Structure 1
Amino acid sequence: MADPSSSRTSTATSTADTPGPAIAAFFDLDKTIIASSSAMAFSRPLLRQGLISRRAALKTAYAQLAFALAGADAAKTERMRAQISALCTGWDVAQVRAIVHETLHDVVDPLVYAEAAALITGHKNDGHDVIVLSATGDELATPIAEMVGATMSVASRMEVIGGRYSGKVDFYCYGEEKALAAKRLAAEHGYDLAACHAYTDSSTDLPLLEAVGHPHAVNPDRALRKVAVERGWPVLTFNSPVSLRHRIPTPSATVMAVGVGVSAVAAGATWYGVSRRNRNRKGKEGG
């Protein structure tokens, strides 16, 4: 099994090398740093490269829409994990990494929340390490973490046999495992957890939020919002995805919310329409 505490370190200088207590800011990825599911964001490049079918892409779009509308409870997250694991079985790891590398900025860059980017910059300016903890696969999460300037990342890892995914998950960076990863990193780098920060949207990350002295709920689901209000934790609203490269002005929060919803529905409708036309054409040819 892969070591849950293993991480990819960027060129940023660790605060463990500076005087005084070391401090880290732990960030969830999906719906905290980026305004989407990272797996969903890469569904179109994977579709174009033939790794997934239109049917699989449609199912992923529908599952992500339901996930976003209903919140990320443990059962739904586990179902999505199992679905993605089954979908990835047999994929060539090198091909997946190449697709992510080639499409990263086009696919993910426009989805980064301006508010998250500003927080990451602020923490780094304060001499804090920035660590992304994500249930998303390492092949997606690590390049995104590096793109936004994180110091390091810890993400889920799938077993690889002969250069291909076996379908087995070696390490699932989810729930209690995120808190354990943060504690391992604290022991390794000398972080004072009481002075550390954590940012996440999901109630499944409560163990991580409870492990630090400065927990923050970002666009929280209902369960997390309730806990945050009861405990007096800051509740942050991120609603301005903006390109890190261009930093163009963004629409209002209302327009942006409508746009995200329409995009998700439109993607599903497009794939459904293509599939339906193909079925109709085959039916006519058969007749």
Structure 2
Amino acid sequence: MSVADTRYPVVRADAPLVVFDFDHTLYDGDSGSHLFLWLIRRSVWRSLLALLIAPLFGPLVAFLPTRRLGISGFVWAGTVGLHGRHDLDALIDQYVDAHREQIRKRLLPIALEVFREHRENGDRVVVATGAPPELARAILAFVAHEDVPVVGTEVGPRLGGIGPGRHCHHQMKMTMLREAGFDSPMWKAYSDSSADLPLLQAAAEPVVVNPKHGRVRMFREVLPAGTPILNWGCPGRGGDPVQ
């Protein structure tokens, strides 16, 4: 049976809660960066604007405390002239439609199989991502999972463009999940990122997937003994290969 033909059971309110990160977990890469690079490259003047602000905002992206500010500069460069979230959502749909084959190739088959199994079991599955939620929804629609709840970074008007409001990242991801009604005890959480340690540590059974090689030792030290650290077919990333 194909993924598109699958019919999933109705999710009970008391079903086990399972949270998936999106980038480097279900999708090979940083979906938000791919989108905003496309937004910037739509015109020469946007590209020049991004180059102009890069010395200021670029270094900020590398550090967790300043990452939100750094990303916001490039988001702004790619969205100057837009008037709100609905304008951005329309461009997201345009971007996804224009890059269907490239995006489809980035969806990780092993990850999607695990995702599907949880849904077939009737688990309460949610995606929590630092990307705009419309982007994750549009990509998941390729594999008939567009009905899965997505919690993502909030965006809105800022200085003539679009900027992130609350970044669904680190501890804020936990806050936004609770506010969205996903406040029951978490059974499983899947993520690649050290920024998701609050998420992984909150889960009864955390699963690290596709981590950076340099972070594997840290995950083994801070997460419970025996925590799976897997590679779901993400080239250049760490974790034990899944056969």
Same fold (TM over 0.5): yes
Q: State the one-letter code of the partner of 1:41.
A: H
Is there any run of 5+ residues in structure 1 with no aligned partner, and where?
1-10, 60-65, 241-255, 258-287
Q: State the one-letter code of the partner of 1:212.
A: A
Q: Name the structure 1 match of 2:76.
A: 86
Describe the superposition over 1:230-250 as per-residue Cα deviations: whole angstroms up to 9, x where unpaired. Answer: 23221011225xxxxxxxxxx
For the pair shown, the structure with the greater C-alpha radius of gyration is 1
Cα distance in structure 1, aligned partners of 2:45 and 2:126: 30
Q: Name the structure 2 match of 1:159.
A: 156
Cα distance in structure 2, aligned partners of 1:219 and 1:182: 23
Q: Name the structure 2 match of 1:263.
A: none
| Pairs within 5 Å for 1:64-79 | 74-75=64-65, 77-78=67-68
SS of equivalent to 2:130? strand
1:141–1:55: structure 2 CA closer, same or farther, 3 Å change rule? farther
Query: What is the aligned counterpart of 1:141 among 136, 140, 150?
Result: 136
Shift of 1:218: 1.2
1:82–1:101: structure 2 CA closer, same or farther, 3 Å change rule? closer
Cα root mean square deviation, aligned: 3.8
Cα distance in structure 2, aligned partners of 1:177 and 1:158: 14
Describe the superposition over 1:205-247 as per-residue Cα deviations: whole angstroms up to 9, x where unpaired. Answer: 111111111111112236742343123221011225xxxxxxx
Shift of 1:32: 1.2
Q: Name the structure 2 match of 1:50.
A: 43
Query: What's the % identity of the aligned pairs?
Result: 20
Q: Name the structure 1 match of 2:4.
A: none
Cα distance in structure 2, aligned partners of 1:156 and 1:236: 26
**How many residues are aligned here?**
218
| More displaced 10-residue stretch of structure 1: 135-144 or 27-36 | 135-144
Q: State the one-letter code of the partner of 2:80.
A: T
| Pairs within 5 Å for 1:187-226 | 187=183, 191-193=184-186, 196-221=187-212, 224-226=215-217
1:172–1:44: structure 2 CA closer, same or farther, 3 Å change rule? closer
- The TM-score normalised by the length of structure 1 is 0.62
Cα distance in structure 2, aligned partners of 1:73 and 1:223: 16
1:85–1:57: structure 2 CA closer, same or farther, 3 Å change rule? closer
- The TM-score normalised by the length of structure 2 is 0.71
1:117–1:212: structure 2 CA closer, same or farther, 3 Å change rule? same
Describe the superposition over 1:20-78 as per-residue Cα deviations: whole angstroms up to 9, x where unpaired. Answer: x411221111111111111233357536643874557889xxxxxx99xxx97514733
SS of equivalent to 2:152? strand
Is there any run of 5+ residues in structure 2 with no aligned partner, and where?
1-6, 53-58, 237-243
